[in-house]
Amino acid sequence: MSRPHLISLPSLLLVGAALWLSSLFAAPLATHLGFFGAPLLYAIFDPLCHQIAERSFHFWGEPLAVCHRCAGLYSGVVLGLLLWPRLHRSRALLLERGRWILLFFAPMAIDVALPWNTEWTRFTTGCIASFPVALLLLVAVEQLSIDQLRLAPRREQ
Amino acid sequence: MTDDTNAKLKPALIGGVSLGVASAIPIVNWLNCACCALVVGGGVLASYMYMKDQPPSARPPYGDGAIVGLLAGIIGAVVGSVVQIPFTMFSASLGMFSGIESALEEAGAPEQVTEILSGLGAGGFALGAMIVGLFFSLFIYSAFATGGALIGVAVFHKKTTDGAS
């Protein structure tokens, strides 16, 4: 069977997620450079995050477009898209027991409830929470690609 | 319409309309500041509605769940933008428009940009804001609702006891 000439969907996912993550840095960089569109870049992320400066990492003297926790959530997805294809045994185990995914959200839930959380606990627990979501995304894309390949010969007939 | 399309569209409509309405109502939409909680919740609701009618299977249907979440996000973005129209018009009439105009001037925006904005007026600005908002919402809501729907599939999937699919 000939291989379909498609750019691999998992790599497209990774590129998209990495672009999204890097766009967080565009807002402080634009502010630092005095670009008038900087408020618009912050406005894009405004519906997604409280954007409290004290709860955000700072780059170039300006806050990121999202808070520590959101930055952790987005980083977790990118990290997951990079690592899950290499973690075969853990991948099989987690897919076998889908509900275990909720355990990854437990540290974030505890951190939200704790009054003495720090920027790194917020970032790290966010990262842990979204890490398995990347696996679900990869599996969804795989399933959809397989379904497409199954349908292709029927369409050709 | 096939049964399969119908099985996905109905939960997507329920999840999408719920997240769209909730995300457009002022104060309620503050919940989205917690990592888009309302949008992710809409995705989870859509996948719950989808999964409750699915027979037990060996493998969770993550691909189908992603489609349901994506559809819910798209529907939510459109519904949210429509529901938001009166709120945007109200904000524009309260002088939010002139505030943005002066903020842009302070930020050193080129004269052409502020001239275009002045030409639009408050009504035109509200319409422009809605179109731009819809564009970004389509992208953001689809992504977050898909994530929510995938989590929902993992949680609500009913496994076959004999391992048959």
Q: Give the pLDDT mean for A94-105.
A: 93
Backbone angles phi, psi at A11, to 5 degrees: -70, -35
Would you say B21 and B77 are in contact if contact means Cβ atoms under 8 Å apart? no
Provide the token pair at B38.
């309302």
Tokens, residue B17: 């309309």
Is any Cβ of chain A less than 8 angstroms from the Cβ of B61?
yes
Interface membership of B27 toward A (CB under 8 Å): no
| Residue A81 · residue A10 · CB < 8 Å | yes
Residues 6+ apart with CB under 8 A from A100: A93, A94
Which positions in chain A have a beta carbon within 8 angstroms of at least one beta carbon in chain B? 20, 34, 36, 38-39, 44, 47-50, 69-70, 73, 95, 98-99, 101-102, 126, 130, 133, 136-137, 139-144, 147
Q: What is the model's pLDDT at position B123?
A: 65
CB pairs under 8 A between A and B: 79
CA distance B56 to chain A (A): 14
- Residue in the block written with tokens 């807002």: A27
Lowest-confidence segment of A3-7, A109-113, B51-55, B154-158 by average pLDDT: A3-7
The beta-carbon neighbor of B154 closest among A20, A49, A99 is: A99
d(CA A116, CA A9): 41
Pairing outcome for strands A62-63 and A58-59:
antiparallel
> Where is pLDDT greater, at A6 or B67?
B67
Q: pLDDT of B71-83, one tens digit each?
A: 999 999 999 988 8
Q: Which of A31, A77, A81 is nearest to A56 (CA)?
A: A31
Contacts of A70 in chain B (CB under 8 A): 35
Q: B144 to chain A: nearest residue by CA?
A: A48
SS3 per-residue string spanning chain A: CCCCCCCCHHHHHHHHHHHHHHHHHHHHHHHHCCCCCHHHHHHHHHHHECCCHHHCCEECCEECCCCHHHHHHHHHHHHHHHHHHHCHHHHHHHHHCHHHHHHHHHHHHHHHHCCCCCHHHHHHHHHHHHHHHHHHHHHHHHHHHHHHHHHHHHHHC
pLDDT at residue B165, rounded to an integer: 44
All residues of chain B having their beta carbon less than 8 Å from the beta carbon of residue A137 are 66, 146-147, 150
- Tens digit of each residue's pLDDT (9 = 90 or more) over B121-161: 666 666 777 787 788 889 889 999 999 999 999 999 998 87
- Interval B13-57: pLDDT, tens: 999 999 999 988 888 888 888 778 899 999 999 999 999 989 999
The residues, ordered by sequence, that sit 6+ positions from A149 with a Cβ below 8 Å of its Cβ are A4
DSSP label at residue B84: H
* Nearest CA-CA distance, residue B30 and chain A, Å: 8
User: pTM of this prediction?
Assistant: 0.83
What ipTM was reported for this prediction? 0.85
Do residue A98 and residue B155 have CB atoms under 8 angstroms apart?
Answer: yes
pLDDT of residue A2 exceeding 80: no
